Amino acid sequence: MPAVQRSEFLLALNQVANERGVDVEVVLDTVKNAILAAYKKDHPDVELEEYSATLDKNTGEATILKGKKDVTPPGFGRIAAQTARQVILQKIREKEKEAIIADYKLRVGTIVNGMILRFAGPNIIVDVGKTEALMPIPEQIPNEKYHLNQRVAVYISEIRTGLKGDEIIVSRANNGLLEGLFKREVPEVAKGSVVIKNIAREAGARSKIAVFSNQQGIDPVGSCVGQRGVRVQAIIAEFGGVEKIDIIQWQENAKDYIAQALSPAKNVRVELDKPSSAKATEGQERVAHVFVPVEELSLAIGRDGQNVRLASKLTDYRIEIEEDTTASRLDRDSEGASKTIKKEEVKPVEEKKIEEKKEKKEEKEAASAKSSDPLRQSSSEASEPKEIKTEVPEIPKEKKDESK
């Protein structure tokens, strides 16, 4: 006689299918396979290829057929029921994982908020909502510290096959995370009025991002920075403040673009190498010679060459930085001329001060001489200031002569 299942069992299957997001037909096929597995458990000598199972959707009645003959036993027993239950749960888990993987395949290239669950050796397991994702060492920021239950924004980079099936790989070092954060924080970028042309990033150290807008009245750099830097500061805070972000405006002119990319260095002069032949290949390396004033060299190169390295990645040019000798010579000439002018201006002033002091001293001496000898007053007024010095000590001698 056929084994009649309780109608509540079918309702439970429908509930499981809705909760797990799995199609009901998939669950029914799984139950049929479980019934055959349980029958094989009780009858190990049979070949399942000759048998089939049916399941009534309405009543939940299960039937085992050999060809067209009904061979359903009166009951499966405890072992058979347990086997059927395990197979059902296993199959449902597999189908559920397939549905989740299919969902996350559509979300590759986006950012999600996750929480660090545990550490699997050097790798990090992140809870991304419906499932867990793996963040291997190359996708981690080198100088960033992670701890359990830490909430982080991650970039879904790919889904690859691992030892336990398909794995979702997330990243904190990918350029896509920076782009996704700008889309989240800057409405103009999310709407498309401000376009991110290129990103050069050294995760955990520094990043350069080139932005552009073809709509009038929109400042692409100002939109990304925000009022008082509130937007870009929110993105920097997402990286724990360990990464600096330079936002520059993309230029169609290569020279202007390279000069912008070398920011914060200023007053740079760019010269581009011409192709060696008219039939230059597309893969030929492009070279730019940049002449920088001496005082701007350290800013243009950056610490350990970081600034020029990021600018090269951003512009796709090999940048060779040289000292701008022309500007240095002009500066030296102008500095020397200014020193000469200052010297010529200062010298007369100093001499004038000396002469004024000398005249004042001579006037005092002359005044003292007049007061001591009224008879010599007229002669002292007629004499030059230089002769006053010689006349002052002669006064006592004349007095002695008069006394005689």
Q: Domain segments of the chain: what residues?
A: 7-105, 111-171, 329-403
H or E stretch covering 323: strand 318-323
Is there a cis peptide before residue 374, judged by omega within 30 degrees of 0?
A: no
Between 22-36, 238-252, 309-323, 358-372, the lowest mean confidence (pLDDT) is in: 358-372
CA atoms within 13 A on the CB side of 57: 7
Question: Rounded to two decimals, what is the model's pTM?
Answer: 0.66
The pLDDT, as a whole number, for residue 199 is: 95
CA dihedral defined by 244, 247, 250, 253, rounded to 10 degrees? -70
pLDDT tens by residue, 292-319: 998 889 999 998 999 999 999 999 999 9
Q: Which fold has domain 7-105?
A: N Utilization Substance Protein A; Chain:P; domain 4 (3.30.1480)
Between 12-26, 95-109, 197-211, 255-269, the lowest mean confidence (pLDDT) is in: 12-26
Binned at pLDDT 50, 70 and 90, residue 58 comes out as low
Compare 155 and 342 and report the one with higher pLDDT: 155
Q: Which fold has domain 111-171?
A: OB fold (Dihydrolipoamide Acetyltransferase, E2P) (2.40.50)
Look-up of token digits 């990464």: 243
Binned at pLDDT 50, 70 and 90, residue 200 comes out as very high
Burial call 54-84: b when 16+ CB within 10 Å, e when fewer: ebeeeebbbbbeeeeeeebeeebeeebeebb
Residue of 141, 172, 151, 155 lying closest to 242 (CA atoms):
141
